[in-house]
Amino acid sequence: MHNLCKSLHRLRLHRPAFQHVLAANQSTGQEQEKIVIPRRIERGPTDILMALSGTVGFDPTAPHFKYHDDPYLIPTSNANKRTFSLAQEAGRKAANWIRQENAKLFQHQEADPPIQAFAPTMVYTEESQVEETDLQSLIDRVEVKDAILVYGLLTKNGIAISDELKQQLLELLCFYNHEDTLPEQLIEERWFRQGTVGRERQRKTWKDFELAEQLFHAIETKRPEHYCALIRGMARFFQVEKAWALYQETIEKGIELDTNTYNSLLLIASFLRESYDKRWDLVCEVMSSMKQQGLRPNLGTLNGVLQTITTIGGYNHPRTYALKTLAEFKQLGIQPSLASWYYLLVIFCRERGPVSHVLHDIMNEIEGKHFTVQDPKDTFFFVTAMDVCRNHLNDKELAKRVNQLLHLGENYNLIGDSYKESIYYRHYFALLATTEPLESFLETYHLLVPNVYIPEPSVMEDILHSVEMNSAIEHVPLLWSHMVQFDHTGRENLVNLLLHIMTSNPPTSGEPRHADLDQSFANIAWDAWKRQEDRAAGPRATNTTGISGPMLGDVLLLCCRANDYEKAVAVFTKLSKEQNTIVGDPRVDGLREFVGQCITNRAPTLAIQCLQYCSENGFPEAVELGRQIFSGFTLDQNQIAKIRSLVGAEAVNPVPQQNQEKKE
């Protein structure tokens, strides 16, 4: 009360001054400024975070935020990324399981209002006392298995269920085929699982004679929505015969269906008719039936027709049908989605068909636009477009336009899943590696690798070939370090190619840059060999032949070029002692360099062992190596006799003057 009196007294003290200001404004004729309160804008729970993220932008060189901010814990291979993400998800699933199994220990409510997702879910058994509201709640939360159980309990107890609720249950069962779906919060499992689901063969998975069909047949007075739900469900899970039979029943009874049900029939037209002509006739029949019922087609209708056209063989007829369909739907004001353009690419850019530049026309139409998902097949556009750029057109500029569109706004959400993202960048990198200048390609490489994309072995092979063609051997150490990070060291073709690149560029005294690389190349070769040895001796070793002779010869050559005598001796010892188990012969260049190292380090015994190895394996250069050893050492009689027995007396005799002049 005392504070209130003080506030009133203060207001009375300031009142004359306020009246003075008001009178001054009235005397000068100034209008008072109106305060306009704007209308309330509905905000989502993440709108503030999205606004803050928009001020920062996307940094492709930074690892994904889901990984720990520790360079030693950030995964650098595709397998490790998948393992890391799914391990985190498994931890969340384990926590949910513990919460569910010990529901009595988690009855406290820390949030107000309470958050339903944090509370244990209700467990229903055959003895549970349920009501109609329980079934409604389960349908709203998309808990299919529990909804089936509760419906059975309600029916068993004789509790009446409204027709509207039965319709909702029927739609739930038809959409999910009586199976629970992955919870929405399992983002990583969805991201890595969708690629596997999308590659499954289309086959009948509809569960016949289950609750959905029982519900439908138990309804005495069937309405159009009952037929629509069941036909869509059967078509979705490829029970095409029953779906078509129900459709014929609706025609006989004069029951009108909705547009989406007709769309589902269009999607299975290729399963209902075998010949290409009959498939197109079926499409025309379904469209005519829609017209008779006064139904207006939508985007799903367009995509359903285009999908059926993709199953029609040949070149001319599918293209004619597709262009005619697009023209008619354009007159209806229906704009294609990315799925429509995807179907168009499939129709025009077939593997063994003529080259089509339809993607240029598509990009001219959609370039610079922002997209949202309108059809499940929208996520197939970007990966297919990049495939066309690489394998059908070999056009890097068009590929850059497609990539720019993908990274415009929120369009990256339509990349699909982990599998499609990997395929997309595989095509993009392989195309740039074979068409771009190496330095320009490496800018893209360093921008996206390894945080956005990790090259597959086939892409890494293209990159190494590009390095080989450009003689850019200075990039080899970096690429080898990446091969180690990406777990590519077990790929024999990549290791052999890398060794070939290093051995094909011999050091020259006039180029110190190459001379500096000799030691790096020797370390890379030694590392590659030891990794092969460890893999062959490890617990997961397979019954393979192990490291090959040519690979050991390249390692020997690189160690000798770097004057690393100890490593060269270790490699030659492996080569000579296990020559019966090693497949293939090394190149003579490595053996010749090793003899030179033996001469430098005064090791005639090893040099003669190398000569013996060459002689036993039939190298024609053995005589030349014998002369090199004879002239490089001061040998005793036993050693000279050994050389003579291996390569003949000509190796220890002086070269005739005539031959010496010819040689010079």
Count CB neighbours of 297 within 10 A: 20
Tokens representing 456?
């597959």
Contact 528, 495 (CB under 8 A): yes
Q: What is the 3-state secondary structure (H, E, C) of 444-497?
A: HHHHHCCCCCCCCHHHHHHHHHHHHHCCCHHHHHHHHHHHHHCCCCCCHHHHHH
Give whichever of 45-49, 345-349, 620-624 has the largest mean pLDDT.
Answer: 345-349
pLDDT of residue 395: 96
User: Which of 585, 582, 575, 630 is CA-nearest to residue 608?
Assistant: 630
Q: In this structure, is residue 490 part of a structural domain?
A: yes
Average pLDDT taken over every residue of the chain: 87
- Determine whether 385 is exposed, middle or buried from the number of CB atoms within 10 Å of its CB (0-12, 13-18, 19+): buried
Q: What angle do CA 528, 534, 540 make, to 5 degrees?
A: 125
Concatenated DSSP letters for 216-231? HHH-SS--HHHHHHHH
Segment 235-259 mean pLDDT: 94
pLDDT of residue 540: 63
The distance from CA 72 to its chain's CA centroid, rounded to whole angstroms, is 23
Contact 632, 599 (CB under 8 A): yes
Assess whether 641 and 571 both reside in one domain. no
pLDDT band for 517, please (50, 70, 90 cuts).
confident
Contact 578, 589 (CB under 8 A): no
Task: Using the 3D structure, point to which of 199, 230, 257 is the last residue of a domain.
Answer: 257
Which one is predicted more confidently, 202 or 400? 400
Tokens representing 39?
């209308």
> Which are the contacts of 235, defined by CB distance < 8 A and separation ≥ 6?
243, 264, 265, 267, 268
Assess whether 154 and 206 both reside in one domain. yes
Q: In this structure, is residue 615 part of a structural domain?
A: yes
Assess whether 581 and 613 both reside in one domain. no
Task: Using the 3D structure, point to which of 199, 225, 257 is the last residue of a domain.
Answer: 257
User: Which of 502, 526, 496 is CA-nearest to residue 514?
Assistant: 502
**461 φ, ψ (degrees, to nearest 5):** -65, -40
Q: In this structure, is residue 70 part of a structural domain?
A: no
Q: In this structure, is residue 224 part of a structural domain?
A: yes
Tokens representing 186?
């399992």
Which one is predicted more confidently, 117 or 235? 235
Assess whether 197 and 128 both reside in one domain. yes
Q: In this structure, is residue 650 part of a structural domain?
A: yes
d(CA 582, CA 576): 9
Phi-psi region of 618 (alpha: psi -120 to 50; beta: other; left: phi over 0): left
Q: Is the pLDDT of residue 440 over 70?
A: yes
Q: Which domain holds residue 610?
A: 602-655
Concatenated DSSP letters for 530-595? HHHHHHHHSTT--SS--S-HHHHHHHHHHHHHTT-HHHHHHHHHHHHHTTTTS-S---HHHHHHHH
Assess whether 494 and 570 both reside in one domain. yes
Assess whether 137 and 243 both reside in one domain. yes
Cis status, amide bond into 113, omega within 30 of 0: yes
Q: In this structure, is residue 454 part of a structural domain?
A: no
CA separation, residue 361 to residues 149, 186, 225, 330, 344 (Å): 53, 39, 41, 16, 11
> Which are the contacts of 28, defined by CB distance < 8 A and separation ≥ 6?
none
Assess whether 123 and 244 both reside in one domain. yes
Segment 320-339 mean pLDDT: 95
Q: What is the pTM of this model?
A: 0.85
pLDDT of residue 291: 93
pLDDT of residue 184: 83
Range of lowest pLDDT (108-122, 303-317, 604-618): 108-122
Assess whether 176 and 250 both reside in one domain. yes
Contact 494, 476 (CB under 8 A): no
CA separation, residue 604 to residues 609, 633, 643 (Å): 9, 7, 11
pLDDT tens per residue, range 5-18: 444 344 444 444 43
The number of distinct structural domains making up the chain is 3
pLDDT of residue 369: 95
pLDDT of residue 79: 86
User: Which of 323, 270, 341, 328 is CA-nearest to residue 297?
Assistant: 328
pLDDT tens per residue, range 297-308: 999 999 999 999
Buried b (16+ CB within 10 A) or exposed e, 157-187: eeeeeeeebbbbbbbbbbbbbbeeeebeebe
pLDDT band for 513, please (50, 70, 90 cuts).
very low
User: Which of 661, 648, 603 is CA-nearest to residue 629?
Assistant: 603
Segment 564-569 mean pLDDT: 94
Assess whether 225 and 160 both reside in one domain. yes
Positions of E strands within 41-176? none
pLDDT tens per residue, range 15-34: 444 344 444 444 455 567 88
Phi-psi region of 31 (alpha: psi -120 to 50; beta: other; left: phi over 0): beta
d(CA 76, CA 93): 25
Segment 249-262 mean pLDDT: 94
Contact 459, 419 (CB under 8 A): no
Assess whether 633 and 556 both reside in one domain. no
Assess whether 214 and 186 both reside in one domain. yes
pLDDT of residue 660: 43
pLDDT band for 191, please (50, 70, 90 cuts).
confident
Q: In this structure, is residue 610 part of a structural domain?
A: yes
Range of lowest pLDDT (19-33, 297-311, 344-358, 364-378): 19-33
Which one is predicted more confidently, 661 or 44? 44
Assess whether 203 and 175 both reside in one domain. yes
Contact 81, 449 (CB under 8 A): no
Q: In this structure, is residue 251 part of a structural domain?
A: yes
Tokens representing 87?
């391990």
CA separation, residue 34 to residues 17, 245, 397, 606 (Å): 22, 68, 56, 100
Segment 120-132 mean pLDDT: 89
d(CA 599, CA 605): 10
